[in-house]
Amino acid sequence: MGQDTTVNRHNQLCLGVDAYLDMPIKGGKGGAAHAYLVYYNYDFGPGYLRNIGILNEHLSVDAAKPDRSWAGGGNAQPTIGTGSIIYGQFGYALPKNNDGTQWMPYATVTNKNFDRLPEGSFQYGVGLNYFITGHNAKLTLEYQTRPVYQLNGGNIERNGSKGQFILQTQIFL
C-alpha cells in the first residue's frame, strides 16, 4: 500500500506584538531591571499543532501506552500551532563585578492556548545568566516546566507537567 500524499493547503496569518525594557537603576551603577513581554496569535489552519523537542536525543515513543507523552519522547512539547502564546521574562541584572562580569537572575512565564488541545498550558522557569563579556559571551542555567499530554481513547488530555534543566552558552565573535 502506498503512503497518503494528500497536501492540505490553508491561508496563514501570524501576528505578534512585543515590548522590551532594560532600565538602569541608580544611574547605571546599581544594575538594571529587565522585562520582555510578547503576544503571538497564529492561524496555520484548522487543528495545526507542532510538537518540538529542542536538541532532543529521544527518537520516538508509542503515544498509545498510558505512561507515554502524546507529544513524543524526551523534552518534546506542543510549541507552535493555531492559537495564541503569551510569554514574559523578568529579571534584574546585578551591578557589574570588578572584572566586568555580571549576573542576572530571571523568571519566565508562558501561557499557550492551542485550538487542538482541550486546555491551555501555563509554564514557568527560573534562571541565571552569567555575562562574561556582556552579550558577546554568556552562560545560562534555567529550570523550566513543560506540559505533558496523553492520548486517552483518541482524545488528547493534559496529564500534568515535568521539569527540565537547560544549560546553554552564547558566544558572539
Report yes or no on 55 lying in a domain.
yes
Closest CA to 83 of 121, 112, 118, 123: 112
Q: Which residue has the cell 507542532?
A: 50
List phi, psi (to 5°) of 31. 105, -165
CB 131 within 8 A of CB 102: yes
Report yes or no on 4 lying in a domain.
no
Q: Which residues contact 149 (CB under 8 A, 6 or more apart)?
A: 69, 70, 71, 78, 117, 156, 157, 158, 159
Report yes or no on 67 lying in a domain.
yes
pLDDT of residue 17: 98
Q: Cell for 147?
A: 506540559
Report yes or no on 122 lying in a domain.
yes
Report yes or no on 117 lying in a domain.
yes
Range of the domain at 22: 13-171
Report yes or no on 1 lying in a domain.
no
**pTM for this one?**
0.82
Report yes or no on 52 lying in a domain.
yes
Report yes or no on 24 lying in a domain.
yes
Number of domains in the chain: 1
Q: What is the pLDDT along the chain (173 residues), one digit of tens a residue?
A: 567 778 878 889 999 999 999 999 876 577 899 999 999 999 999 989 887 777 666 655 555 555 556 666 667 788 889 999 999 999 999 998 999 899 999 999 999 999 989 888 999 999 999 999 887 899 999 999 988 888 777 778 788 888 989 999 999 88
Q: What's the sign of the alpha-carbon dihedral 161, 81, 19, 169?
A: positive
Q: Which residues contact 48 (CB under 8 A, 6 or more apart)?
A: 10, 81, 82, 116
